[in-house]
Amino acid sequence: MVNFMEKATTFSHLVSLVLILQLLNPFLGLSSSSLGSNGQPEIPTKFLDFAQRQELVDWIVGIRRKIHEKPELGYEEFETSKLIREELDKMGIPYKYPVAVTGVVGFVGTGKPPFVAIRADMDALAMQEMVEWEHKSKNPGKMHACGHDAHVSMLLGAAKILKEHINELKGTVVLVFQPAEEGGGGAKVMIDEGALEKVDAIFGLHVAPSIPIGVVASRPGPFLAGSGMFEAVISGKGGHAALPQHSIDPILAASSVIVSLQHLVSREADPLDSQVVTVAKFQGGGAFNVIPDSVTIGGTFRAFSKESLIQIKQRIEEVIKGQAAVQRCSATVEFLEKEKPFFPPTINNKDLHEHFKSVAGDMLGNHKVIDMQPLMGAEDFSFYQEVIPGYFFMLGMQNKTRPELKFVHSPYFEINEDALPYGAALHASLAASYLLKAEPKVPLQGKLHEENLHDEL
């Protein structure tokens, strides 16, 4: 009887202690998503150790190089998609295909709620690779100059980690392999075709050549700008360059248009509301002594709110047509929304930011999880964030002992493959830890009673 009473008292103290810890949890920063039974970070460090095994590193690097050799443009990623499906088949991971023409959506875990997604984009850019190495692009005029080959290989690496630890998944991880991020709005098509069905949250990443390896960076709230594109044809009357009075010069009109477009930001936008209008395309004339009939200009505009984007769009059209008319020309303006849909701003969920900091901090160290200023670059990951909570972050690749990496969209862009295990482990850890945090909780006293008290008695 005395022994039983001692055990009951000890059990009562244990319940009280656990309840107190749960109440203090928001202040202590503890969570079931990041702590093991011994009270130490478990999933992030364990997954990183697994990702850094040489066999898995070699496999991830090999996948990345295969994809890099055969870059494909948006909605044409058939070989990339085939490779993804072959690897998922080998792992025994079920998937849906096709989604959004070439997209693949895989599933790892219980097949039951909660559901969390991790995403990689697959498409390349229409540019000639200038990097000379063994795995240079074999498709002329196409190159993985934005790191999407690395994104796919890291997501497949995360799939392998999750499959190996499937018994620890308290729900289902959805693997989103998406086409056509580079202007094609593939994320929106994936959503329209059900890729986010039942999904509660989604995570995505992008390689960053200017951030040190082993460091990640992001921020809550607005992170990347929304964007749109425009193209205008300014028409005049062609003629001999020596007799301009007999012509209506569309080049002069286009020049006035470009100067006036810059005033939209410098004179009309709130200085505290970051905006960009850039004319990057100017085509007109083919001879030194002939005034052409028309000129085509085009460019992009960026802002951190939909309201600002709508305002810029309206003013771009008004300025182009108005300035053309001043120079006796006419103008037509297109915003190419079917071919290149507007991207909303990328806005990171604040709760997911705390989750990211906790998981990445456990894996890499808190000093390697840094806040960064918003960027005017755009990402169609933002379409997912319009539907469900989402979080997007940058994965560092810079190694100061090696030559400086070129920025994305350069024909000299390269991937530091030492970063790949970090991305795979972060993907897997963010998803698995999210499921642990989101899983339906059994009432504490009932759970202890069922699992512990019966054994004690």
Residues annotated in a binding site for Mn(2+): 146, 148, 182, 206, 409
Q: Which residue has the tokens 């999880």?
A: 369
* Integer Cα distance of 185 and 298 in angstroms: 19
Q: Which residue has the tokens 């460091």?
A: 215
Looking from the CA of 13 toward its CB, the CA atoms found within 13 Å total 6
C-alpha separations of 154 from 92, 120, 207, 254 in Å = 18, 8, 11, 45
CB–CB of 428/115 below 8 Å?
no
Q: Quick check: helix, strand or coil at residue 149? A: helix
Under DSSP, the state recorded for 385 is H
Q: Which residue has the tokens 């023409």?
A: 101
CB–CB of 117/202 below 8 Å?
yes
Q: Which residue has the tokens 């478990």?
A: 42
* Integer Cα distance of 263 and 253 in angstroms: 16
* Integer Cα distance of 349 and 449 in angstroms: 37
Annotated binding-site ranges: 146, 148, 182, 206, 409
* Integer Cα distance of 309 and 269 in angstroms: 11
**What number of other Cβ atoms are within 10 A of residue 176's Cβ?**
26
Task: Determine if the peptide bond prior to 179 is cis (ω within 30°).
Answer: no
